Structure 1
Amino acid sequence: MSTVPVSQGSAGLSRRLIAGVPAVVLLVLILAVASQRPSFLSVTSLRTLLEGTAPLLLLALGQTFVILTGGIDLSQAVLASFGTVLLALWLPIGGPLGALAVLLALTLAGALNGLVCAYAQIPSFVVTLGTMGLWAGAALAVSGSSTISITKGYNTIFWLRDLRVAGLPVSAIMAIGAVLLAAVLMRALTRGRSLHAMGLAERAAQMSGGRTFRLRVLAFALSGLCAGLAAMVLAASQFSGAPSLADSLQLPSIAAVVVGGTVITGGIGGPLRTLVGTLLVVVLRVGMSVVGVPPSYEQIVYGTVIVAAVALTLDRRRVDIVK
């Protein structure tokens, strides 16, 4: 008869309790906002909330794949901004093919980050900090540092803004569907489970025959693909592309991942936790406006939330030295 050590059992219970904290906080926050603004729970308000959640959720989903491997993608939101510029330029020329070309281009851009990290053995923080400047400069150069309106070709992406299914915006349905699909595939596929294994112990995964280089490239490629989907949603909602349209979502997208319970050192977490974390960040934004916090202070709050979430979820047994 096998027995589980008390310390191991208590550690597992502790992890499960911590995993449930974001959902509890989300519920409390919703009730607190609704008590101050009863209209918050109206159908119209929730529909608007979901519509605004879609691009953030897509970016956070892409960030989740990278963070699970123990990395981070600082260039993702800037890449999404570049994607909106490419959409504004390519949709009038290619229509649906232009949209597919943008998704492919951003996926390849994400994969490039992974290739450099994996084969040059450069930390993802450094690589994506560099490509953040690269894509920001490219967006400014291609757009002429100005917003480009989308008129011809807009019918390719209009459905992301105007189409409703059971009264819900299709962009939100697409984003939530992507999260659910990712969660199912990561449980069903060996490669999906390998992302967790790589984040928990990359060296052990290598020694057991795991192809960690390919997994890192895959994680960053998925991050780029999600940036492309977010770019489509943003371009559809704004009728335009701009070199900084998605930039403000970088910090909230990272906050959504870590607040949801995905550990910044990798290996623990997943898409469903990111969904909870994204909703928490969005409701927090509404709550700040209800109590009169100026929008300029939002980034301060997100930064504080990230530090607090990392402090609560970080498994210090896996970090020999904190640098």
Structure 2
Amino acid sequence: MSYGMQLPIQSQSTLYAEPWEAAAGPGDLVAIARAADRSGFAYVAVCDHVAIPRRLADAMGTVWYDPVATLGYLAAATERVRLLSHVAVAALRHPLLTAKQYATLDHLSGGRLILGVGAGHVREEFDALGVDFDARGPLLDETVDALKAALGPEEFADFHGERFAYRDLGQAPRPAQTPRPPLWVGGSSPAALRRAAVRGDGWLPQGDSRDRLPAQIARLRALREAAGVAEPAEIGAIAEPLYVGDPPWRVGRRTLTGKPERLAESLRAYAAMGVDQIQVRFRSRSRTELTDQMAAFAAEVAPHLNA
């Protein structure tokens, strides 16, 4: 079981952002990405929102870095850690445009892209961009199919769907990964789970508690088998907030704390459910405390995750 993380700073919803992030900037983001690179994290992830309506701004904030620009910036500052969009609201954009952006990112990063996609949930974003919010599920299904064609081995890809159709249109540079970069599908609704099972290379659940995950994973596997998809899906989970050691401040009752062996034992329960990668988040009061927590996790907890 591998481990990755959603980066701080680049999205600042009040649901999870720490107070110190408000004053942080690009230098802090680079330092944290480099710490993940050094510490064996499988990926760093960046969210996607184009614009936040005023009615949601108090909860969501308006700080949402663009994922392609941000991951491209961090690609130049890191060497091995993979670059995940978690998740790109792919239905907001034409698939050829998305393919151009992410193929270039994969090319420039030496094949480190993981393209995570999701349906989105903010109606005003869709309205402003002229995209039918109520049709976003079927639109995303076709977008995923079109992306798989455009990011595949053919420079001149052909695709013919209900909403998108193109042929004899070449795109280069091509992705570094062959036959294409992995495409993970986010979301935990029945439609999202089916989309991940039938169309995705991996699944990024959104907020599923531990007690819900086994049934969701079993459902995904059954749907995948019924669809005749032979390759196993990369199954993810978002772990509870973590603090390695005994925190000298109040970190919240849901936060997993304590000795590394205790944390590893708790997190191994995800592997027992069939999870392949966990997304971790550390409570912190500063960039330094965060990178110290990341280093402690990598050195003291991660070696016990697959015991």
Give me the TM-score of the superposition, normalised by structure 1.
0.23
Q: What TM-score do you get using the length of structure 2 for normalisation? A: 0.24
More strand by share: 2
Q: Please tell me whether Structure 1 or Structure 2 has the larger radius of gyration of its CA atoms.
A: 1
